[in-house]
Structure 1
């Protein structure tokens, strides 16, 4: 299993988690609470948790190629959910 993590500075991480989970809820299994969310994507699992001024994103995938694709997909969708707020996402393995 391949894993990747990013700590993303965000003004309202709970809002980003909620928006992304609700966006994907109609296509994929999603678990959501006040501070975290888990999305079961075909590429792997995306776990999100909110901290004070940051969002932790953890990805798990059975395949390295799928991991790279999932990093791109999740980063692109988080950027869309953030609107005008710029997000710096640096994935670490």
Structure 2
């Protein structure tokens, strides 16, 4: 299962780097340039910094784990981007 969202911001690369650095202390993370991937125990999230914002795609084997991955990524982005008050609208699709 997958869920994708886009956060419109001028600071996409900064937030991508902050998320990857934060999670990198706890779980496997890859980060190169304008892309990254965070591998949580219950799913993964691919991040891409674009000129228009930050696109994030979470993947997990089932709905419960996907919901957890989305919640964890969302709560951390909300904390790091609190000045911009991100309101993420995740679109769910079957794998």
> Is TM-score (shorter-chain normalized) higher than 0.5?
yes
Aligned-residue CA RMSD in angstroms?
A: 0.9
Q: What does residue 8 of structure 2 align with?
A: 9
* Equivalences for residues 1-93 of structure 1 within 5 A: 2-93=1-92
Structure 1 segments, 4+ long, off by >3 Å, are none
TM-score (norm 1): 0.94
Give 5+ residue unaligned stretches, structure 1: none
Give 5+ residue unaligned stretches, structure 2: none
TM-score (norm 2): 0.92
Distance 1:88 1:52 in 2: 18
DSSP 3-state at the match of 2:22: helix
Q: Per-residue displacement from partner, 1:1-30 (whole Å, max 9, x unpaired)?
A: x10000111121000000000001011111
Give the number of equivalent residue pairs. 92
Distance 1:69 1:45 in 2: 11
